[in-house]
Amino acid sequence: MARGLFITSETGGRANNALSPILRDIIAKIGENNYDISRFSADIKSVCVVVCCFPDDLRAAGFGKPRKFIKYNEGVADIRLPMPYVDFINADDEEKYLMVVKNITDSLAVIGERCRKSKRAVFNSDGMTADVLEKLGITLEQLENIVGVCTD
């Protein structure tokens, strides 16, 4: 069986150098390899979050397209939400970190919303978000004005 939580990235341009150490830190703090999502869903057994950050020209060429994919019968979710490249590259280190966290929490919210709408699975995205933020030492208030996902 797949890991309960898998976080990775797809990047282009200068984003990889900035994103990789942030993801390593988040993964270590969350304990991704042993993270148990069964507290948040009996239906979804594996969540993959792919943080995508590509320059606009690469996004226009088709890289980093959003993906909101849930296989209900297999209990797996694969969410890829593009992050605004220029904002990320120009942000200071703290804001970059918060942008990545916001992308992850927005991805969890997508799973919760999709499960609610389909009624084929139950997923407590608010509970999992709270748990992840607690492990990272970040509050919801810190994410209020952070943009972690492209709006287009």
**Coil vs helix vs strand at 78:** strand
Alpha carbon distance 114, 118 (integer Å)? 6
Q: Which residue has the tokens 């948040």?
A: 40
- pLDDT bracket for residue 41 (50, 70, 90): very high
Residue range 89-124, pLDDT digits in tens: 999 999 999 999 999 999 999 999 999 999 999 999
What letters, b where the CB count within 10 A reaches 16 and e where it falls short, cover 90-101? ebeeebbbbbbb
- pLDDT bracket for residue 33 (50, 70, 90): confident
* 1 has pLDDT over 50: no
Average pLDDT, the chain: 94
Alpha carbon distance 65, 90 (integer Å)? 22
In angstroms, the Cα distances linking 135 to 15, 26, 40, 132, 150 are: 25, 9, 15, 5, 25
